[in-house]
Structure 1
Amino acid sequence: MAKNAAEYRKRFMPFKRTKPGIGAEHYVAHGRRPTIRGRLTQFGFGACLSHKLLHISDPTLPVQLNVFTYDENSYTEGKYKNVADIPTVPFAPMTPMTWIDVDGIHDHEIISAIGDRYDIHSLVQTDITTSEQRTKLDVLDDALFLVCKLIYRDMDRTGQIITEQISCYLKDNLLITFQETPKDLFDSIKNRIRQGKGRIRKSKVDYLFYSLLDVIVDHYMDVLDTLGTTVEEIDNQLMKKLKRDTLESIYDMKRDMLYLRSIISPLKEIIIKLQKEEETQIMQESTNIYLKDLFDHIVQVNDSIDTYREMLASFIDFYMMLNSNAMNQVVKTLTMISTIFIPLTFISSIYGMNFDNIPELRYKYAYFIVLAAMAALATLMLLCFKRKHWF
């Protein structure tokens, strides 16, 4: 099994790329029972999966609206507390692109105000404020709505892995993103808008939408690289010392991988759907080539997860084999001891019988002769065991 695990690791390892929730409050506000994952892993304001994947946010923080309005020649940026303060931009083919980045989804009044102003359906608003949504893409009459999970390493929390829901509403020249926390992992995108670098300001808002997805997938790769290091550590630990904690770590990792696959795997079908013009007319043909590249990265992420799951399954088999071998060694040792003492017990039982006439009992050196015979017999049996490589 160890050989199989090594072969998996040698055959495929994920490549590297440079580059918390309102669940508890939602359950209190709406009286909804937590999901299975929530019940098993509840922690703080959200959920923690195997003490590695953390789902956190602070509902006491105010919601902040970060608004970028840009075209090829200029851009404006503003931070607002109220939806009414956001400047009105008419939707027309030549108008600038607008990106509204909402930090915080716990204030239902603000989400409702955004929905009223930008004609977002009430069911979509409910999906935005529910942080335990599955990864999905809804194609509406004149808009796209995407829900996915952003997973990243929070270096402020000693490298813990954080999961956060991201919702994107794409319509005409408008993109609205909803994040659970003010921790902004899209700074690189915002800096490219500010500095006019790359294709974002030269392209429609659908390219900005792709760029955000690309950042999310980059973080998937970074997290998988971290989890891959953990898998390597488990492999090394298996070879050094057999401990029950190792088996628990393996099962925790398997559960983490299963959760990661459940939130990442749907992105494959979503990217395919985005590339179909009859499905999503908002996406430009010029963006399709970038979506194909993104699709390849998602496939490699899923392949990485599958490979790690196979390795972890082989680790479990290997652990069971090591445990079985250890038990066999104990049984073998006990068997050899029992085998040696069977003839010795037989000899001692003969001279322990209650007969009046046992000639050897009256012989002066009988006791020492019997002890020598028993020692010789035990030595002979040990030599036989050694010759057969039993120890």
Structure 2
Amino acid sequence: MITYINNKVHEFNDLEKAFSKDPDTKEMFWLNISNPTANDFKFLKNKFNFHHLTIEDCMHKAKRSKINDYNDYHFLIISTTDNNVSNAFSYNNIYIYISLNYIITIHYGENKSIKKIMNDINNGLSIVSNGSDFVLYNILDDAIDQLFVVTDKVEEKINFLEEESMNNPVQSTLNNIMKIKKTVIKLRRVVSPLREVLNTLLRHDDIITEKYRVYFTDIYDHALRIYDLIESDHEMVTSCLELYSSQLSNSMNKVMKVLTIITTIMMPLTIITGIYGMNFQDMPELHYKYGYFITIFIMFFISFCEIIYFNKKKWL
């Protein structure tokens, strides 16, 4: 689906049809291409003379955020992610060509940031007419907001796993900790280069007008906050993993403690039964009328004394 926006929103199934009437490319417009084809990329290269390396990045779905400067346009990759932490982590990238009088966005599948801005435009908000930098600001702002949602969900998940590690550390807890750790690492890989891109954008006077510079500064501050949150989440996951290991060791120690106490209690009883289990003929106690009951009493008495001693030492 191709969406061409200048004063009005136009939707096309073919990119050539969007420019069939040869619109004035000197007038500000936003071209959004969802699920582009090879013919679409060929048309873009011929129409706008885009560098073949940028086309390859779009076709190969490059993930890392970056910005490349060319003579009359700039190429950006904005790498974000969806806000669903429970499922597999997935990238949700936007490939952007931007100049003073146009902005072209390319993405695969549904992109929530693009969809939200399209809805705002359909509801009457004036976005495209304010310039390509304002459109870019709206895209980046919503992408950053999506990352805030993800980090909040990650933090909630970590807090839950921390409580589970404290109260009931089982194998599934460890599996979930490792999953959330991988998510945090991937998030850091997304936000770190995105932060660099935003920092670079602030130094581009040919992209960002003075009017909207404060908006991009605000986005950059948000990106720094998200990166700090991710670093904090990474430390929390590490602490959670250490807590799980510690609680598991404590549980094992408790089991070993109980087994050791049982073994210690049974040891003198085993000695007594071993002695009287020997097949010697001259053992007077064997023929004593109350020998069995006395032996049982002694065994219980020894066990009782051991339990009292262990309890006094607070080993029980």
TM over 0.5: yes
CA shift in 2, pair 1:293/1:183, >3 Å: closer
Partner of 1:379: 304
CA distance in 1 between partners of 2:25 and 2:183 (Å): 43
Q: Matched residues in 2 for 1:298 and 1:185: separation?
A: 16
Describe how 1:35-184 pairs up with structure 2 within 5 A: 64-69=1-6, 75-87=7-19, 88-92=22-26, 96-105=27-36, 107-153=37-83, 162-182=90-110
Asked if the contact 2:68–2:76 (Cα under 8 Å) also holds between the matched residues in 1, the reply is yes
- 1:167, 1:178 within 8 Å by CA — same for their partners in 2? yes
Task: Output the CA distance in 1 between the equivalents of 2:16 and 2:277.
Answer: 104
Q: Specify the code of the residue in structure 2 equivalent to 1:214.
A: D
Structure holding more strand per residue: 1
Name the SS for the 2:169 alignment partner.
coil
In the TM superposition, what is the alpha-carbon distance from 1:308 to its structure 2 partner?
1.4
Equivalent-residue separation in structure 1 for 2:13 and 2:94 (angstroms): 20
Question: Could you say what secondary structure the match of 1:172 adopts?
Answer: coil
Structure 1 distance, partners of 2:87, 2:282, is 84
Aligned to 1:217: 144
Structure ranking higher on relative contact order (CA contacts 8 Å, 6+ apart) = 1
Is residue 209 of structure 2 the alignment partner of residue 281 of structure 1? no
Deviation track 1:300-358 (CA, whole Å, cap 9, x = no partner) reads 11112111111111111111111111111111111111111211122223333444433
Partner deviation per Cα, 1:251-273 (whole Å, 9 max, x = no partner): 01100111111011111111111
**Distance (whole Å) between structure 1 residues aligned to residue 278 and residue 112 of structure 2:** 89
Compared with structure 1, are the counterparts of its residues 332 and 312 closer, same or farther at alpha carbon in structure 2 (3 Å cutoff)?
A: same
Task: Give me the whole-angstrom Cα distance separating, in 2, the residues matched to 1:178 and 1:318.
Answer: 44
**What is the SS of the residue equivalent to 1:67?**
strand
The CA deviation string for residues 92-123 of structure 1, in whole angstroms up to 9 with x for no partner, is: 4xxx3110000113x11111112211111111
TM-score, normalised relative to structure 1: 0.74
Matched residue, 1:241: 168
Question: 1 CA distance for matches of 2:271 and 2:207?
Answer: 92
* 1:201 CA drift (Å): 4.8
TM-score (norm 2): 0.91
Q: How far did 1:167 drift?
A: 0.4
Unaligned runs of at least 5 residues, structure 1: 1-63, 70-74
1:368 partnered with 2:293: yes
Report the Cα offset of residue 362 of structure 1: 2.9
Determine which structure has the larger helix proportion and give its number: 2
CA distance in 2, matches of 1:183, 1:314: 34
In 1: Cα distance, 2:117 partner to 2:276 partner: 93
Structure 2, unmatched stretches of 5+, are none
* Pair 1:347–1:84, CA change in 2 (3 A): closer
Q: CA deviation at 1:153?
A: 3.7
Deviation readout 1:129-151 (Å, 9 max, x if unpaired): 11243211112222111112232
Task: Quote the sequence identity (%).
Answer: 27
Partner of 2:158: 231
Counterpart residue identity of residue 15, structure 2: V
Aligned to 1:318: 243
Secondary structure of 1:389 counterpart: coil
